[in-house]
Amino acid sequence: MNNTYKILGLACTVTLLAACQSGPREFNGNVGYQIESRNDSTATLAYTLATRNNQQLDEQRLQRACQKVLASNKVFKLNILSVNEIANPAAGNSLAAPGRQIGDTRATFSLSNTPGLYSSENPATRDALTARPSTLTVVRYTCS
């Protein structure tokens, strides 16, 4: 009985976390959608994506943004106007990164910043959590 409650609680938590990740959000300076124009039945949006290209996931995000802007749950016809890649302003200056740049590759080599034997600090985890994509994809589209 106790395990059943644990599994039920875990399933509810996972469902809530998945639902929070799937909602479209307005532009926050980094990612999200911006309304360029809107009528009763059509809208032109610019959606900035920071993820890898996944056509099915991107289409779902664009569709949900249309549904949120036009306040309807119907499936809209999406017409892509343009797809552009821009430099991510939140990624920071790549020239300030420590290490030695090798040609035009993304590889850098530097000395290890290994923490002490009994230190709880983990620089690799800290770097991974603060990592940002170097480019963002801006999709301009209309939905009707």
Q: How do the domains of the chain map onto residue ranges? A: 24-91+133-144
Burial of 140 (C-beta count, 10 Å sphere; 0-12/13-18/19+): middle
Q: Where are the alpha helices (DSSP H) in the chain?
A: 2-22, 55-69, 123-129
CB 19, CB 7: distance < 8 Å? no
Q: pLDDT tens, position by position, for the chain (144 residues)?
A: 688 877 877 776 666 555 555 567 677 667 889 999 999 889 999 999 887 778 888 889 899 999 999 988 899 999 999 999 888 877 665 445 555 656 666 666 556 656 666 666 666 777 777 777 778 889 999 999
